Amino acid sequence: MYRLVDYITQKPVSTDNLVFTGLEGPWEVKVDLDRVKSLVNHDYFRASPPLASKYLPFLPIQKYGNFISLKEGNTPLIQSRVLGEKIGADLYFKMESKGPTGSFKDRGSAVELTVAKEKGAKAIVVASTGNMAASCACYAAAAQIPCFVFVPEGVPSSKLAQVISYGGRIVQIKGNYNDAARMAREAADKLGFYLAGDYAFRVEGAKTAAFEVIDQLYYQVPDYVVVPMGCGTNIAGYAKGFEEYHRLGFIDRVPALIGVQAEGASTIVASFNRGEKEVTPLSSVSTLASAIAIADPLDGKKALDALYNTGGAGIALTDREMLESQYMMSREEGIFTELSGGATYAALRKLSETTDLKGKRIVCVMCGDGLKDPTTVLKISVKPPSIQPTVDDFISLYDRGFFEGKTVSFVDRTETLFTDTPSPKDLKLAVKNLLEIELAPELIGRVHELVDKFLKKGKSISYADFQDIVQDATEVTAVDQKRFFHVKDFDVKTGKDRQPKASVVIEVDKEEHQGKGTGVGPVDALIAALRNACGEKLRFELTSYDVNIRSQGADAVVYVELKLRQNGVVTVGAGVSPDIIQASIEAFEEAYNAFPK
């Protein structure tokens, strides 16, 4: 039915545990294609819809009834309406983001968990940057097998939430993906667990995506298929799938595969462009595209061969190029993909500069849903304004041209804009050039006031800071607040293993009050002091407190949003400052002033 071989030497291999990869290089599953051919009615097979069960004869599964399936596969192949025309190509998007857990990993997980169950595994262990973890945990739950997941610190919480929901046990590693992979392998070897991940059996599931592309195009072969590369397993699966269809006579050629990586993690692409036969690992990686941030790709050799053997190419992209492409796909096509998916169209744009793509049939692979890691978009977006529930407030924003500006900005967010307080004229020009909006004089005045506050704190103004300042200024004006409540001054004292103490001086309807409070942290002590200063007559309840930091560094700007409840009415306030205490004060003032008087 199938046999295991060393990928490089092609010699048979075996193991006395459930680790199906070699120490020196990857292994490969060799399916008996003569047997497959004998099981498949050629005409019926070509006419059948591309369901996962259709490809069972191609998979290394002993009994088809054992297949652990959640209806993975049969993901949409969507023809481009806009972006294809920009490069003159017949462009399609293969929506692997529509799998059961929102990523392409589900195909391989279905096969791996089936094999694990057939071999009597008492548990599985896997290393992942996120998508693999969610998928393996999901299919382990379906197979009723315990799942242990090793992930590097910093994996997006949205992906970890999936693992937790499926009952997977997460261990965060103070290291990178390759540290996690090493630990997973050692744990599998010592505990007798099935080692899941980018190994021999996963490629067998991944190759079904290539089968589907051909089926969905009615057996017309694409000229190019563009695939993001992390560990290299997915593009290896596409190469194997196209080759098997070719050997069985379903297609007369294989498409050229274009492998895409981030410049900050371009192990495979760099080796390909140097004409090397082996992948040279990196000591570290640096990219926002967490799904493909791999320093030492496990299937890098297979990925390199996929590029060479299909006459393909390797393309490396900056984070900005990927972000712009991700946004274009959302804005122009209605497709919200992970940053790694956005890389595919960015690669085509770059390829079109040197290669004539006019009239070419091209498929871009969308590996994961954009909801898997929305933080990359949120960090470059303009936060939506908050207004009172009156249409007049909306019309006021609309008439001032607020919605004509950018919703996202692709610039170096760490670039310093101001180290000294600029003139209102310079501020107005900066807002127009960077955010593409025209602000009224009163808004420019508010921005000027906030910039001056920041600089007095000793904080230079970067682009990220400026975006938050402009946002805060427009929100305050939008709700048209009267300063019924004002914090005149505050003081917070804290120290190691000591309970913080805070005191405040507030002005309520031109009447001064003072209050003191303690808490488990500085902000908690401050809220307690404000509560005591307000007294019973002006009692409030803090119902929500959120902090967002959109730039990096110890002096990063903090965006605080909180909700207050008073007499059944809930209001929202926001504040921005390099000082979290001051940002909290400003948010509190805004929320408190929004209460009905």
What are the structural domains, with CATH classification, of the chain? Answer: 204-369 (3.40.50.1100), 379-478 (no CATH), 485-593 (3.30.160.270)
* Nearest-angstrom CA–CA distance, 435 and 566: 36
DSSP count for the chain of H helices, then E strands? 21, 20
The pLDDT value recorded for residue 439 is 76
The pLDDT value recorded for residue 405 is 66
- 541: which 2 tokens? 């309840």
Inter-CA distances, 215 with 105, 228, 253, Å: 20, 22, 14
Give me the helices (H) in 457-543, please.
463-478, 522-534
The pLDDT value recorded for residue 550 is 63
- For residue 217, which phi and psi values (nearest 5 degrees)? -95, 15
Residue whose C-alpha is closest to residue 322's, from 260, 387, 272, 373 = 260
Kindly report the pTM of this predicted structure.
Answer: 0.81
Inter-CA distances, 304 with 233, 236, 269, 279, 342, Å: 11, 9, 8, 8, 22
* Nearest-angstrom CA–CA distance, 552 and 410: 16
3 state DSSP class of 540: coil
Per-run averaged pLDDT (10 residues), the chain, 597 residues: 93 94 91 93 87 90 94 95 95 96 95 96 91 94 96 78 93 87 94 95 97 96 97 96 96 98 96 95 89 91 97 95 92 93 94 95 94 76 72 80 70 76 88 76 84 83 79 60 79 91 90 92 91 83 84 74 88 84 88 81
Q: Where would I find the beta strands (DSSP E) of 41-112?
A: 77-79, 90-95
Residue whose C-alpha is closest to residue 54's, from 64, 33, 63 = 64
3 state DSSP class of 195: strand
3 state DSSP class of 56: helix
The pLDDT value recorded for residue 552 is 66
Residue whose C-alpha is closest to residue 587's, from 555, 543, 537 = 543
Residue type, 199: Y
Residues found in the chain: 597
3 state DSSP class of 203: helix
Are 344 and 226 spatial neighbours (Cβ–Cβ below 8 Å)? Answer: yes
The pLDDT value recorded for residue 403 is 76
- For residue 317, which phi and psi values (nearest 5 degrees)? -130, 150
User: Residues 6 or more apart from 155 whose CB is under 8 A from it?
Assistant: 128, 129, 130, 133, 172, 290
Are 364 and 335 spatial neighbours (Cβ–Cβ below 8 Å)? Answer: no
* Nearest-angstrom CA–CA distance, 352 and 145: 47
* Nearest-angstrom CA–CA distance, 202 and 97: 17
Are 435 and 406 spatial neighbours (Cβ–Cβ below 8 Å)? Answer: yes
